[in-house]
Chains A and B, each alone.
Chain A
């Protein structure tokens, strides 16, 4: 990154009360206040949000897509973790 370039921030928006914040996009800003103000201007022009989180992109750590198999394969054969795995007699109506 160029030294004169403002740092990059990731923007997360809560679209309405009760919902999770969701990644909306990113932007450059000199500091956290500017990041939040710019996020307001860019990502909530049509009432898309009631709350904004910003995180400097360099502070986000991601899993390695090259390791996807070893990361997520172990869950593949554990269908007994889902309720549909279990057979219930028809008499049991609600469970």
Chain B
């Protein structure tokens, strides 16, 4: 087959909504885009454990603690599914870790904000996992098979994450005056960064066109952001909390909520590494990796020793 027919075959598959699998021919840019997107996604799951890990030892009840541990453990699993999906495209796990630890790879900027009070565990679950779900559901039908299958597994596990967060918010919002204030304060701090999670506006997002063309993305950043605003406003009403946006208004004509301007300079600044916790997060990852080195070495040595012993036993038998 000529190069042209490979491309043609690929395009036909994309156009007819077929999945692309690891061993299929694919254009270099498609592969590159996927490696970047999937590995960033994996890094986000892994770094995303840190702000919540901060509260495991200080959860207010045993129930909340068990739930939070289960959630954080799920995020580790999500990272693993996604790293595995990226590996099918030809990049090694170590290379991805290396990109994260050297700051070459990005992860979701939301995780560079601090978790100051217990109410943040509510706001993070409700808003951050909520935004993640909004992003992830259409990715279950993304064109690259291993990525789509990983996302199906992730989405199944994700919905309890948002519910447990909402439950924390609801308990606080219906609690004492101080608890209600805590919930509102967490909402105020997490709302805008959550909107930024969907990425820059479509007009400034150079990758969107190709990603939509290749059916990696099914909806654009702005479409997803709007959906998220629309559903969250209704949920905030149930909580009885105020939306932290004075420009928020129902737009009859559009059938959507209009919302205020997002502080994009802040977003780019955090992406560049200048958020409140960027340094702390990367250092935590690096130190976990370095301090785990002896464990990895020991396991490798142990596996080697056992394999050698087994081989020796087989030889003795044969002799």
What is A's interface to B at a CB cutoff of 8 Å?
Answer: 1-2, 4-6, 8, 25-28, 30-31, 34, 42, 45-46, 62, 64-66
Contact = CB atoms under 8 A, between A and B. Distances in A.
A25 B153 contact: yes
Interface residues on B, range: 20 to 34
B303 A30 contact: yes
Interface stretch (B53-61, B79-87, B222-230, B259-267): B79-87
A62 B23 contact: yes
B300 A6 contact: yes
30 contacts: A1-B92, A2-B95, A4-B94, A4-B300, A6-B296, A6-B300, A8-B87, A25-B80, A25-B84, A25-B150, A25-B153, A28-B93, A30-B296, A30-B299, A30-B300, A30-B302, A30-B303, A31-B299, A31-B303, A31-B307, A34-B299, A42-B77, A45-B73, A45-B74, A45-B77, A46-B157, A62-B23, A64-B23, A65-B21, A66-B1
Contacts of B302: 30-31
Contacts of B74: 45
B317 interface: no
B77 A2 contact: no
A59 B141 CA distance: 29
B204 interface: no
Nearest to B160: A46
Contacts of A34: 299, 303
A28 B74 CA distance: 17
Contacts of B87: 8, 26
Given A5-B93, A6-B296, A6-B300, A27 B84 contact: yes
B24 interface: yes
B81 A25 contact: yes
B299 A6 contact: yes
A25 B157 CA distance: 15
A5 B77 contact: no
Given A25-B150, A45-B77, A66 B25 contact: yes
B94 A2 contact: yes
Contacts of A46: 157
Contact of B92 (A2, A42, A62): A2
Given A5-B93, A34-B299, 20 more contacts: A1-B92, A2-B94, A6-B299, A6-B300, A8-B87, A25-B80, A25-B84, A25-B149, A25-B150, A27-B80, A28-B93, A30-B296, A31-B302, A31-B303, A31-B307, A34-B303, A45-B70, A45-B73, A45-B74, A66-B25
